[in-house]
Amino acid sequence: MAVREQIRVGGRSARIQSAVHQAVRDLSATTPRDELTVPQIAAEAGVTPSTIYRRWGDLGALLADVAVERLRPIAEPDDTGSLQTDLKAFVDQYAEEMSSPVGRALMRDVFASAESFPVQCAGFTCNHLATIAARAKARGEQPFDVDEVIDHVMAPIIYHILYDDREITPAYCHALLARLLSLPQPR
């Protein structure tokens, strides 16, 4: 008879992660990022620094983990009734959140780590876009290729946010979408 491994939900590990994440959020509200330390976070969370090093490896990975948790979507993208308005609403919200000071700080934390955190964040975006495409298809609209939206809309937005070389305005985002939607669509 095969033995199934029991997975504990909400055990000690989850409590530690929650306490450490909360400590990072609390300390980040009053302490500049470059002044945060693992011992400081550990003391605030009520754990030893070795607990943090064992679980996350270093401060950068911990900050990235906290950032990914904050960037994790809490709801499906808005369903406005049409492909174009669904995409517009998603891109507008995404650009506004990511180009905010908090969004920029979270992105810096995600990209500063050598871990797979950027891949997780990309997955969040791809999943939302796939949901929008599936809704369009269910309504009888021509769905889009998620990779095309990533290449033609999301990538330029992220580039300009990371390099801070232009303001990410709704007009700029709408121009990217219009350019994408004007491209010949495969049948």
pLDDT digits (tens, 9 = 90+) for 66-106: 998 888 888 899 999 999 999 999 999 999 999 998 899 88
Three-class secondary structure assignment of the chain: CCCCCCCCCCCHHHHHHHHHHHHHHHHHHHCCHHHCCHHHHHHHHCCCHHHHHHHHCCHHHHHHHHHHHHHCCCCCCCCCCCHHHHHHHHHHHHHHHHHCHHHHHHHHHHHHCCCCHHHHHHHHHHHHHHHHHHHHHHCCCCCCCHHHHHHHHHHHHHHHHHHCCCCCCHHHHHHHHHHHHHCCCCC
Q: Which domains does the chain have, with CATH numbers?
A: 12-57 (1.10.10.60), 76-182 (1.10.357.10)
What per-residue confidence (pLDDT) applies to 182?
87
On the question of pLDDT at 37 being above 70, the answer is yes
Q: What pTM, to 2 d.p., does this model score?
A: 0.79
